[in-house]
Amino acid sequence: MDDKEVAALFARHAKIRLTIIEDSKQERRQIKNSFRENKITNILECDDYDEAWEKLQLSSTSVLIFKVSDKDGEDFLNQIIESTRFRKTPLIIFTTKIGEYPKLYSTAEVIAEWVEAPINALKVEKALVRTLQNGVVEKSLVGSENISLEYFTAGVAALAKGDFGKAKESFRMALKESPGFFEAYVKMAETLVALGENQTAKRVLERALKISGNNPGALLIKCDLAVKMEEKDKAIETLDNAVGKRPDDLKFIIDVGNIALKKGWADEAVKYFEMAKSIDPNLLHVYNRLGIAHSRAGRFDKAVEMYESALRLDDKDAGIHFNIGMAHHRKGDDAAALGFFKAAAKMDPDIQEAKDWIEKLSS
């Protein structure tokens, strides 16, 4: 599009509301000034995810612009997906892991435009042009617009804060208002698991799966319950059946592998991570999880092999350097471990564990 066409496109959408989450005030100011030049002035600014989530409970947005490059960003995106209020609200998401996150979230029920970080005014403008050209700009819902949604939103917020009693009551009220509210059943089941009420959670989850038997959130809770309540063979059968329902869903398969790994079933976790690798052999995250699983099984040479594969994809990832250092240490090669710990600490000075190991191995 030429400049006149872009100006005309923005003019047609001058009343939209943008929400920008960016910790750099200077960058936010530049983005705001860029849009103001194009007559888009209704812009909500937020320093961080918590502030944004709080504000989005009280007001709607037409387009949400934010970064996802770490666990905090992932948690916020997952919260957006689970809330159900943003299904038709475009998300412009910046990430340093452009080769990973778009694939992991390819099956999520959101409208997402992924852009390689760093964030800047020109990239945001181009992404918004693509979004507006697609013609899908619909404001997110506000909790007060629907009583059951209001209870649901309150429950999600309480669950995130660890207030499981309040979350349980909020989801109960949401289901009382809307007995077919699928997402409320799923979050109620998640809350009950957190409270240790596993049998009740299982019954609630069965109702959810009758509504949508292929939903990834519900299936993951079913897997989590299975490893807590069933014998290993039966639980693995449940995990296998769940993966069979979503055989091409990378993130889901990795999450199932993580459930197995958390339980201590390293070999089963390797199986699921290998499935994910067969879908896409170029995901650093998968090689990292494979390395962790092999390491926990005592296969340190295999773990090093997986971490080295990850480094071939991104040799600047401090976490991978730390993990490969731990694998070398556990197999008795402290000289090699020290080199990787030093590399990790240099790449990311905030990795305190790397510094601690450098001190231990240097003394």
CATH number of the domain within which 73 lies: 3.40.50.2300
* pLDDT band at 176; cut points 50, 70, 90: very high
Residue 127 lies in a domain: yes
46 beta partners: 21
Q: Please report where in the chains the tokens 């200077």 appear, as a residue.
A: 26
* pLDDT band at 43; cut points 50, 70, 90: very high
User: Which strand (E) or helix (H) includes residue 230?
Assistant: none
pLDDT for 57 equals 74
* pLDDT band at 145; cut points 50, 70, 90: very low
Counting residues of the chain whose pLDDT is more than 70, the rounded percentage is 97
- Alpha-carbon Rg for the chain, nearest whole angstrom, is 23
Contact assessment for residue 244 and residue 236, using Cβ atoms and an 8 Å cutoff: no
**pTM of the predicted model as reported, rounded to 2 decimal places:** 0.82
pLDDT for 307 equals 97
Residue 273 lies in a domain: no
DSSP string for residues in 70-139 = SHHHHHHHHHHHHHSTTTTS-EEEEES-TTTHHHHTTTSSS-EEEEESSP-HHHHHHHHHHHHHHT---P
Instruction: Provide mean pLDDT across the span 316-325.
Output: 95
pLDDT in tens, 252-296: 999 999 999 999 999 999 999 999 999 999 999 999 999 999 999
Residue 212 lies in a domain: no
pLDDT for 39 equals 85
pLDDT for 135 equals 73
Instruction: Provide mean pLDDT across the span 231-251.
Output: 96
Instruction: Provide mean pLDDT across the span 175-193.
Output: 92
Residue 315 lies in a domain: no
Residue 160 pLDDT > 90: no
Q: How far apart are CA 34 and CA 57, in angstroms?
A: 27
pLDDT for 6 equals 84
Ranked by mean pLDDT, the top range of 16-25, 31-40, 339-348 is 339-348
pLDDT for 13 equals 86
Phi-psi region of 112 (alpha: psi -120 to 50; beta: other; left: phi over 0): beta
pLDDT for 310 equals 96
Contact assessment for residue 134 and residue 89, using Cβ atoms and an 8 Å cutoff: no
Q: What would the two tokens of residue 105 be?
A: 């979230």
Residue 99 lies in a domain: yes
Residue 50 lies in a domain: yes
Min mean pLDDT across 33-42, 307-316, 347-356 is at 33-42
Query: In terms of Cα–Cα distance, which of 234, 189, 235 is closest to 215?
Result: 189
Q: How many structural domains does the chain have? A: 1
pLDDT in tens, 189-228: 999 999 999 999 999 999 999 998 899 999 999 999 999 9
Ranked by mean pLDDT, the top range of 14-18, 133-137, 238-242, 312-316 is 238-242
Residue 352 lies in a domain: no
Instruction: Provide mean pLDDT across the span 147-160.
Output: 87
* pLDDT band at 65; cut points 50, 70, 90: very high
Q: How far apart are CA 202 and CA 185, in angstroms?
A: 11
211 beta partners: none
Q: How far apart are CA 344 and CA 348, in angstroms?
A: 6
Domain range enclosing 82? 3-143
Residue 131 lies in a domain: yes
Largest CA distance in the chain: 67
